[in-house]
Amino acid sequence: MRVWVDADACPNAIKEILFRAAMRTKTVVTLVSNNFLSTPVSPFIQKMQVPMGFDVADKKIVDSLEKNDLVITADIILADLVVDKGGTALNPRGKLYTPKNMKQHLSLRNFNTELRNAGVMTGGSAGLSKKEIRLFADSLDAFLAHHLPSA
């Protein structure tokens, strides 16, 4: 089991949690990005820089992931592709995307896109709160505890 990170838009606070979890659980975390990333030196933390381009990092993640892998992303379209391929996606705000709830999240995303296109809703989401960071950490820990072999 591996953790993939859609790293270009991933908040630093979330990356730090992932780095600590990788070393604590000896789980490989691979950050995929278009840009250079600085990461701690660890056999459990890898980085993969892909060429610039629309959804190049997303495609690399989907092509590389295996069933039961976890992908960290705020991109609902990528999350849907991950779930379709047998993986699980976790949003930096702590929402877990699974086959049971993915279609609901896609519908909400599409509805919000329509509102933005109509000018009814503007702006993006707010920065991460401490509560959301804690929720992410708790969701990640629960996922890892459930999917990693016992020590």
d(CA 39, CA 127): 22
Residue 85 buriedness (CB in 10 A; 0-12 / 13-18 / 19+): middle
d(CA 81, CA 64): 12
For 3-147, CATH number out of 1.10.10, 3.40.5, 1.10.8, 3.40.50 equals 3.40.50
pLDDT tops 50 at residue 130:
yes
**What pTM was computed for the model?**
0.85
Q: What is the pLDDT of residues 1-42, one digit of tens each?
A: 999 999 998 999 999 999 999 999 999 999 999 999 999 999
Tell me the domain boundaries of the chain. 3-147
Greater pLDDT, 54 or 2: 2
Which amino acid appears at position 100 of this protein? Answer: K
DSSP assignment letter at 123: S
C-alpha distance across the termini of the chain, in Å:
15
